[in-house]
């Protein structure tokens, strides 16, 4: 039997994504983003995102079918993000997926968005040796996962206890007077904004590394905290201003970024070693961050750990990640979801399929 042909729909945050895969082969990955509409608010506004999903969903589905040169009738199944995510956003994708299933008679799989971030790597690097560790970092999530089976068994071993890493980037960007989203902007400023001579010194300011003190490691070995870091940056900047000193933007950006990436990579590597995992997969929008990639690559290599990173277009939210996860469910013969499944804004990663 040939590999299953699956259409996947993603609408959990501010990207409307529709992807089509055949097994681990990518045929289409169409994304409509509403990020521009959120810029003036300095963060994703759920109602604005939901309205944009409704506008984008049908054209994005039609584009994906055209790109993949596939007829709905040829599909083996449809997959859609059931959660976690923004409620108003999720329901648009789910309603669309259910309507597709109703109109075509195809089975429908409601799947976990976080598991999708892990599964998407199959499109680029093939089967994932298990157990593996996955580090997911974006504006919405910061989690360390133990992956025993990409379609059926993923366990969260750590998560942020306050802000997501991407959220910390957004907030620090705002207090430095930089634009939203903060991740790419801070990375760029830290690297000198196009002039390597002007790159910031990541050791210029020693910002705190959350949950890395000996006492914190007892309870929160694999957890993250970025709220204190953000406050420390705000404090440092305000003190300089109060004393009439200039703000060395590149140094602040580089030092802040170093603090985030240092903690993320140290805990991810520690997780691999403690679980005996030889593969570390990264996903989510922040996985595209240059400094995080370099630091992870260095530290992984020192310990003989293979680093797997999907290309940036697959790290951010997209429909292909949902399609490839759906393909895994179908290949394993798992039963489709009942047509009355709900959107679950807090769906735990331990439930890959609803």
Partner 1 sequence: MGRLPVADRLTLGVDTSTQVQVGLSDGKQVLASRTYDDPKRHVEQLAPLLSTMITEIGLDVTAVTGIVVGVGPGPYTGLRVGIATARVLGSVLGVRVRGVCSLDVLAVQWQRGERPDGDFLIATDARRREVYWARYGADGVRVDGPSVGRPDQLPALPVAGPAGLVHPELASADRTRLDGPTRLDGGVLALAGPELPDAGIEPLYLRSPDAAPPGPRKSVLAHPRALR
Binding residue for partner 1, selected from 231, 311, 312, 332, defined by CB under 8 A? 231
User: In the complex, what is the shortest distance from the CB of residue 320 to partner 1, in angstroms, rounded to a whole number?
Assistant: 19
| 113 or 308: CB nearest partner 1 | 113
| 17 or 210: CB nearest Zn ion | 17
The annotation status of 233 as a binding-site residue, yes or no, is no
Spatial CA neighbour of 157 closest among 212, 222, 218, 224: 222
Binding residue for partner 1, selected from 5, 32, 92, 286, defined by CB under 8 A? 92
Measure the CA–CA gap between 81 and 321, rounded to whole angstroms: 10
| 204 or 237: CB nearest partner 1 | 237
Which phi and psi (to 5°) does residue 352 adopt? -70, -25
95 is a site residue for partner 1 (CB under 8 A): yes
| 57 or 133: CB nearest partner 1 | 57
| 96 or 144: CB nearest partner 1 | 96
CB-CB contact of 139 with 202 (8 Å) = no
Buried b / exposed e over 146-169, threshold 16 CB at 10 Å, is bbeebbeebebbbbbebbbbbbbb
User: In the complex, what is the shortest distance from the CB of residue 315 to Zn ion, in angstroms, rounded to a whole number?
Assistant: 9
Provide the token pair at 131: 């157990």
Per CB under 8 A, contacts with partner 1 among 16-75 are 40-42, 45, 47-48, 50-51, 53-54, 57-58, 61-62, 72
The annotation status of 187 as a binding-site residue, yes or no, is yes
Residue 74's Cβ-side half-sphere holds a number of Cα atoms within 13 Å equal to 11
The annotation status of 88 as a binding-site residue, yes or no, is no
323 is a site residue for partner 1 (CB under 8 A): no
Whole-angstrom Cα Rg for the chain: 20
Provide the token pair at 260: 């985030």
Provide the token pair at 331: 């290949």
Measure the CA–CA gap between 326 and 171, rounded to whole angstroms: 35
| 95 or 247: CB nearest partner 1 | 95
161 is a site residue for partner 1 (CB under 8 A): no
Measure the CA–CA gap between 11 and 102, rounded to whole angstroms: 19
Q: Is the peptide bond before 181 cis (omega within 30 degrees of 0)?
A: yes
Provide the token pair at 10: 């993603």
Spatial CA neighbour of 79 closest among 164, 131, 11, 133: 11
Provide the token pair at 132: 């593996």
| 138 or 160: CB nearest Zn ion | 138
Helix (H, G, I), strand (E, B) or coil at 111: strand
* Torsion, CA 124, CA 127, CA 131, CA 134, rounded to 10: 20
Binding residue for partner 1, selected from 99, 247, 266, 334, defined by CB under 8 A? 99
Q: Which does 98 bind (CB under 5 to 8 A by kind): Zn ion, partner 1, none?
A: partner 1
User: In the complex, what is the shortest distance from the CB of residue 92 to partner 1, in angstroms, rounded to a whole number?
Assistant: 5
Measure the CA–CA gap between 146 and 122, rounded to whole angstroms: 16
Stretch touching partner 1 by CB under 8 A, among 126-134, 185-193, 236-244, 327-335: 236-244
317 is a site residue for Zn ion (CB under 5 A): yes
Per CB under 8 A, contacts with partner 1 among 102-131 are 102-104
Binding residues for Zn ion (CB under 5 A)? 138, 317
Enumerate the known binding-site residues for Fe cation.
Answer: 113, 117, 317
Footprint of partner 1 (CB under 8 A): 40-42, 45, 47-48, 50-51, 53-54, 57-58, 61-62, 72, 87-88, 91-92, 94-96, 98-104, 162, 171, 174-175, 227, 230-231, 234-235, 238-239, 242, 339-343
Q: Which residues are annotated as a binding site for substrate?
A: 136-140, 170, 183, 187, 289
- Residue ranges of the annotated binding site are 113, 117, 136-140, 170, 183, 187, 289, 317
């Amino acid at each position: 039997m040939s590999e299953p042909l699956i259409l996947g729909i993603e609408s959990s945050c501010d990207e409307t994504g529709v992807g089509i895969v055949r097994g681990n082969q990518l045929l289409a990955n169409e994304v409509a983003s509403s990020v521009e509409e959120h810029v003036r608010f300095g963060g994703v506004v759920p109602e604005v995102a939901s309205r944009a999903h409704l506008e984008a969903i049908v054209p994005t589905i039609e584009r994906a079918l055209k790109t993949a040169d596939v007829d709905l009738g040829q599909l083996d199944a449809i997959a859609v993000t059931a959660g976690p995510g923004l409620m108003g956003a999720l329901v648009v994708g789910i309603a669309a997926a259910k309507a597709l299933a109703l109109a075509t008679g195809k089975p429908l799989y409601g799947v976990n968005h976080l598991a999708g971030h892990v599964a998407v790597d199959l499109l680029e690097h093939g089967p994932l040796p298990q157990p593996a560790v996955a580090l997911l970092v974006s504006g919405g999530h910061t989690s360390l996962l133990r992956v025993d089976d990409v379609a059926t068994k993923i366990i969260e071993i750590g998560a942020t206890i306050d802000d997501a890493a991407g959220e910390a980037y957004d907030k620090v960007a705002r207090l430095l007077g930089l634009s939203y989203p903060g991740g790419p902007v801070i990375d760029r400023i830290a690297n000198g904004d196009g002039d390597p001579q002007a790159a910031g010194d990541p050791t210029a300011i020693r910002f705190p590394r959350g949950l890395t003190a000996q006492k914190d490691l007892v309870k929160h070995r694999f957890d993250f905290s970025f709220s204190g870091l953000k406050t420390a940056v705000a404090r440092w900047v305000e003190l300089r201003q109060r004393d009439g000193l200039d703000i060395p933007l590149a140094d602040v950006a580089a030092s802040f970024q170093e603090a985030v990436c240092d903690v993320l990579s140290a805990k991810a590597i520690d997780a691999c070693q403690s679980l005996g995992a030889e593969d570390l997969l990264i996903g989510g929008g922040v996985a595209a961050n240059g400094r995080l990639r370099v630091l992870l690559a260095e530290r992984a290599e020192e310990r003989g750990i293979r680093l797997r990173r999907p290309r940036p277009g697959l790290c951010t939210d997209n429909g292909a990640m949902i399609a490839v996860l759906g393909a895994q469910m179908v290949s394993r013969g798992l039963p489709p979801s009942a047509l009355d499944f709900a959107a679950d804004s807090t769906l735990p990663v331990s439930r890959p399929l609803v």
